[in-house]
Structure 1
């Protein structure tokens, strides 16, 4: 869309809500944080998508990232100030002041050409930055002037309150917020929907050109302008009389009353009181405030409200403000059977076209790679104790085709914990249940040796390449163990399972450094390679019993696992390292 640097007639305020309902709402593009709490001089860069999942160990800074956007949106209030503890190491150092940069993509009515940059895709981009010089003071806000290529003390959209109304509205829900804060946020979610519906209501039906609310706001705005115009003579008298008194002390000084009408008529009128009370109780019984309910009831009501928001149709007149949900640990207080439903609710929110979601989680269940709108960021402390944020996965970089997405959707259903590899550690992909059981057993038998091992069960040879494509985005080193199978079936036909070897090799070769990926095949399958004959039934259970009771077999399985983790170690008999189909063919032919 062409750039649109417009101003409303008669004032300098600009709405980011497009007039055309087909034009997308503004959205957050990037959040850059440094020198904030445990985040040091090395910036943490969060690339925002419709869904952003922050993973990482406890106390690694994930919640600080959620806090960052909420913080800049509260500038002008006490909540927009920092405390001494928010500065690195609790020390105010002028060379390392807390700084947060926010990049917002806009589509219509941007605040002037000097502020409009562009993303790699050519979308209009506004950059703003906040710097805190000391505790308990408001931050210095700057805008990036693209015409001079530097930060400027003048800012897009002017005053903080006006600027905040032009960005997505944050809804921050902390993991252990007070009952009052949780109740307030649930109420805000529901009231937001109600207010949106009021703003689009038309008493005269669809034939009515403007909504009742728009007509009211227009009337209030006109009234304000008329009042100011009608009192202009009185204003002139006041200016003259005060100026005459002022000149006796300060010769040739005068005053001027800048009595413009209020630019935001919504400040003049609201259909509801500032804070609505949300009550809950049994039908025909006593309804008490939600803040007085138990934590389980409040959390359940939160998910109910979010589900309602996700299923509520967006008004089609372009009047709905964009929102961003900032949610700490959504798995808290959820019954296992409710986790999948909660994940669906979160992933459905962006379908309304007005929501983005950023969560922190320790649960791989809240990662759904079958969607096209998910970014995974791992937040962790390095050896120097500095916080780092690494984008592990973005859909537009994964090169997943439709078959890959179907594979991931099926895998999410079969194994909700498959995404554990995003949480760090050494990764080994295996094809099926038997090898997964074998490696899981030796990991439990030797916990110190394999403490950080993640075994990914692909649940089928065809899914191995899909998982490898995902790992290629962020892991420079991982291992794959699969069955070689035979080139032909017993009937002499081409074996489809053999053909999958090419797909696995292709996925490995697409990595930035394929030599760091350890690719091992079992000739002809895992059972034959380890046990010298395949079990006819209950393969995983039989494998567990045999390995548990046979020390020599334990040693052999450990040898295979060690060879997968270290390319310098030899693979056991019955297995082969390979990086070309000719090698694999030769190994099978022996």
Structure 2
């Protein structure tokens, strides 16, 4: 029995998501029971894994944080699991009795698990066979009509347009009803109505053991926070214990000594059996009954159940590793070593399982979060190969979340890729169920060949922008043009790097591979641009026509006539084109318009967007004097202003409590728990900070001096790194923070890097006691501000170092005074004087 479909509703931020797990197909050599979920951070990938784990673990209960936090109805959480490929052994399971049905010629089993809010009872139910679920399309017409005749439907109802356009792109001229329904389901079309006349039958209470036998055995490997727990063989739900236990079950369950142990336990239990009870046991029962009868009319009975330690051998097994002769537990090793141990056990499991595939065993489901994490690139590929062996060899199914292109396969496993995107705060999944290359095995073979050369082309699924090019020459030209524009002062290098990192250039190594990529990008609705040569000849004409046809609605093209070098440089290059174009651009005195047009098209940004910002001259201003302020909003007027004496600055400098902190990401060396704070003479402040950067320019300007109040002492907030295994604790934030205040802070990974930023923090408490916290820049024109705001979540790690209590002016002081606390002599680790967007 294999898991075929999962539907998750009302779990955390998930409103409704449906996933299909692809299956191994003989005609696709790289296909497997393998699903890869990709998406930006906080897109909901981990929530999907958690929900599947919750649904596939019979005794697991939902906790309060797993229910939708902004839904007044508070759930319920629902997870539907649909299985196919049932075996004879599966049909004998008590949970399946009377609950299987046939659809599309396949016997199936559907289970819905429901968790109500804590105050309401939860329940499990199975789909009762009867009439099959009916799929209906509003405005349905007979399937014998062609796509051309179906076009008339658009005049009656515009909701048909995306369905018909998708079919046209796929080259389907005579769609069947099932094809229309599948595309409508994939596009979440409002035309699709699913009628389910059969009902769900609730399982009786106490059915947990029956469910446990039917559900997949889940081996869950999380990404970070629980890694140490996952390598502890004594932890009941750890991944290592489950793997070790599965190995023992496969190879020790029928061993002679295990059989002898079970036999001895049974014989021991027979001593207490009703028939043939041992005389000592019987005598004890008689004597106890005699004593009972003196007091009350009851009898005694002694029974005994021998513990079956062979059912869970791993629980009694100690698993340790030897490191330089020292025996340690795996969870005491580093994260990289722990992941390597998991990988080694998985590899052993694959090897051992291949020897025992003839025996049926409970279906295994591997849930692996970010399998690439902590692993060297070579080890990362070994992890992928191991998981593929599990998923393609009939050993189990694999679902993973990943940020690595190594775990994707556009040629053979594109139906096993799910892209998560947030829409109105809820994750939305994009998955292509149909085989994109079902009608073109040549396209599949071309793409497979390219992936063998360069697996990094899978980065298309992780990028904001994608540009397809024929070869290395175009990519080399982009880099050379950027360096030339930087050297002539026409391009801001950090802005270029930001644009370049947002764009994935895919070297298709020829014209005919471009359409294969287009089909995949179109299927996943990923926007892209194509740069290609017109070339000459009938073969080129056919490829060009196919490229332009596939561009409709999803991409843009830039065509060079007859090819790149002749169109731009009026030259013909036979070979070594990347090096030739690099030297050509480096040695040129000026760049022609055609080359600049290619550069901006490939990047997807105009030259105006990449130009350096105008510089502000400081001339003869003193180091600690503020620059002339630009026109501001009213944010600055909210800050209190203080005048501080020269002696106070001297005191702050001696105490190392005069900092340079960026209005944007930066590093700060103080304070720490080992350095007690001392009062600054003549003030009520904890420290002064010189502002660096421009992302708060509507409130704080570069070279402003501000007074800080540290949030330490009873709040225990310092600048030291935080152990990632610690549970986050943000519950006290509303009581610590002043709403709309400016704070020096670090979140998540920036804590470990000791990288702090100065930003405005807004916090609001709801009537029900929940709270929302946001971090904002005060200058929307700065690059940091372009990223908008971000929220502090309950699961985030966060440090607030200090609150900005006001602007500081120092009393007039002669520039030559040796006591002036100039920036050049502050004994702290200064951050670079770069713009915020450099970081």
**Fold shared by both chains (TM-score > 0.5):** yes
Q: Cα distance, 1:107 vs. partner?
A: 1.7
- Paired residue for 2:101? 117
Give the distance between the partners of 2:436 and 2:460, measured in 1 at CA.
Answer: 18
Q: Cα distance, 1:73 vs. partner?
A: 2.5
- Return the match for 1:84 from 47, 52, 64: 64
Q: Any idea what SS the aligned residue of 2:311 has?
A: coil
Give the distance between the partners of 1:48 and 1:323, measured in 2 at CA.
Answer: 14
Q: 1:351-366 alignment to 2 at 5 Å?
A: 351-366=392-407
Give the distance between the partners of 1:501 and 1:227, measured in 2 at CA.
Answer: 87
Give the distance between the partners of 1:472 and 1:369, measured in 2 at CA.
Answer: 12
Q: 1:152-231 alignment to 2 at 5 Å?
A: 152-155=200-203, 159-176=207-224, 177-184=226-233, 185-199=239-253
- Paired residue for 1:102? 81
Q: In 2, are the aligned partners of 1:373 and 1:395 still within 8 Å (CA)?
A: no
Q: In 1, are the aligned partners of 2:241 and 2:314 still within 8 Å (CA)?
A: no
- Paired residue for 1:576? none
Give the distance between the partners of 1:504 and 1:192, measured in 2 at CA.
Answer: 54
User: Is structure 2 residue 11 aligned with structure 1 residue 36?
Assistant: yes
Q: Cα distance, 1:118 vs. partner?
A: 4.1
- Paired residue for 1:338? 379
- Paired residue for 1:426? 465
Q: Cα distance, 1:369 vs. partner?
A: 3.2
- Paired residue for 1:303? 343
- Return the match for 1:135 from 118, 121, 130: 118
Q: Cα distance, 1:228 vs. partner?
A: 8.5
Q: Any idea what SS the aligned residue of 1:134 has?
A: coil
Q: Cα distance, 1:36 vs. partner?
A: 0.9
Q: Cα distance, 1:290 vs. partner?
A: 1.1
Q: Cα distance, 1:471 vs. partner?
A: 2.1
- Return the match for 1:47 from 3, 17, 20: 20
Relative to 1, partners in 2 of residues 1:154 and 1:84: Cα closer, same or farther, differing over 3 Å?
closer
Give the distance between the partners of 1:289 and 1:379, measured in 2 at CA.
Answer: 37
- Paired residue for 2:648? none
Q: 1:182-331 alignment to 2 at 5 Å?
A: 182-184=231-233, 185-199=239-253, 270=311, 272=313, 274-282=315-323, 285-312=325-352, 313-331=354-372
Relative to 1, partners in 2 of residues 1:153 and 1:71: Cα closer, same or farther, differing over 3 Å?
same
Q: In 1, are the aligned partners of 2:350 and 2:395 still within 8 Å (CA)?
A: no
Give the distance between the partners of 1:278 and 1:440, measured in 2 at CA.
Answer: 52
CA offset digits 1:310-366 (Å, max 9, x no partner): 233141443222211111111111112322222212211123302111111111122
Give the distance between the partners of 2:249 and 2:97, measured in 1 at CA.
Answer: 33
Q: Any idea what SS the aligned residue of 1:89 has?
A: coil
Q: Name which one, 1 or 2, has greater alpha-carbon Rg.
A: 2
Give the distance between the partners of 1:168 and 1:551, measured in 2 at CA.
Answer: 67
Q: Any idea what SS the aligned residue of 1:559 has?
A: helix
Relative to 1, partners in 2 of residues 1:229 and 1:101: Cα closer, same or farther, differing over 3 Å?
farther
Q: Any idea what SS the aligned residue of 2:535 has?
A: coil
Q: Any idea what SS the aligned residue of 1:530 has?
A: helix
Aligned residues: 481
Q: In 2, are the aligned partners of 1:38 and 1:88 still within 8 Å (CA)?
A: yes
Relative to 1, partners in 2 of residues 1:179 and 1:271: Cα closer, same or farther, differing over 3 Å?
closer
Q: In 2, are the aligned partners of 1:28 and 1:105 still within 8 Å (CA)?
A: yes
Q: Cα distance, 1:197 vs. partner?
A: 1.8
CA offset digits 1:418-455 (Å, max 9, x no partner): 01112253332111001123346668764566774332
- Paired residue for 2:437? 398
- Paired residue for 1:410? 449
Q: Give me the TM-score of the superposition, normalised by structure 2.
A: 0.51
CA offset digits 1:468-511 (Å, max 9, x no partner): 23223222753333223332xxxxxxxxxx525425644764x5
Give the distance between the partners of 1:138 and 1:530, measured in 2 at CA.
Answer: 71
Give the distance between the partners of 1:545 and 1:31, measured in 2 at CA.
Answer: 55
Give the distance between the partners of 1:273 and 1:515, measured in 2 at CA.
Answer: 56
Relative to 1, partners in 2 of residues 1:61 and 1:534: Cα closer, same or farther, differing over 3 Å?
same
- Paired residue for 1:126? 109
Q: In 2, are the aligned partners of 1:81 and 1:137 still within 8 Å (CA)?
A: no
Higher mean alpha-carbon deviation, 537-546 vs 56-65, is at 537-546
Give the distance between the partners of 2:260 and 2:37, measured in 1 at CA.
Answer: 40
Higher mean alpha-carbon deviation, 555-564 vs 180-189, is at 555-564
Relative to 1, partners in 2 of residues 1:142 and 1:370: Cα closer, same or farther, differing over 3 Å?
same
Give the distance between the partners of 2:416 and 2:344, measured in 1 at CA.
Answer: 25
Answer 1 or 2: which has greater helix percent. 1
Relative to 1, partners in 2 of residues 1:438 and 1:473: Cα closer, same or farther, differing over 3 Å?
same
Q: In 2, are the aligned partners of 1:320 and 1:354 still within 8 Å (CA)?
A: no
Q: Cα distance, 1:407 vs. partner?
A: 2.9
Q: Cα distance, 1:64 vs. partner?
A: 0.7
- Return the match for 1:533 from 571, 576, 589: 571
**Structure 1 gaps, min length 5:** 1-25, 204-211, 232-258, 488-497, 567-590
Relative to 1, partners in 2 of residues 1:360 and 1:476: Cα closer, same or farther, differing over 3 Å?
closer
Give the distance between the partners of 1:363 and 1:475, measured in 2 at CA.
Answer: 20
Give the distance between the partners of 1:554 and 1:160, measured in 2 at CA.
Answer: 73
- Paired residue for 1:16? none
Q: Any idea what SS the aligned residue of 2:568 has?
A: helix
Q: In 1, are the aligned partners of 2:414 and 2:520 still within 8 Å (CA)?
A: no
Relative to 1, partners in 2 of residues 1:281 and 1:433: Cα closer, same or farther, differing over 3 Å?
same
Relative to 1, partners in 2 of residues 1:290 and 1:113: Cα closer, same or farther, differing over 3 Å?
closer
Answer 1 or 2: which has greater strand percent. 2
Q: 1:570-589 alignment to 2 at 5 Å?
A: none
Relative to 1, partners in 2 of residues 1:216 and 1:182: Cα closer, same or farther, differing over 3 Å?
closer
Q: Give me the TM-score of the superposition, normalised by structure 1.
A: 0.71
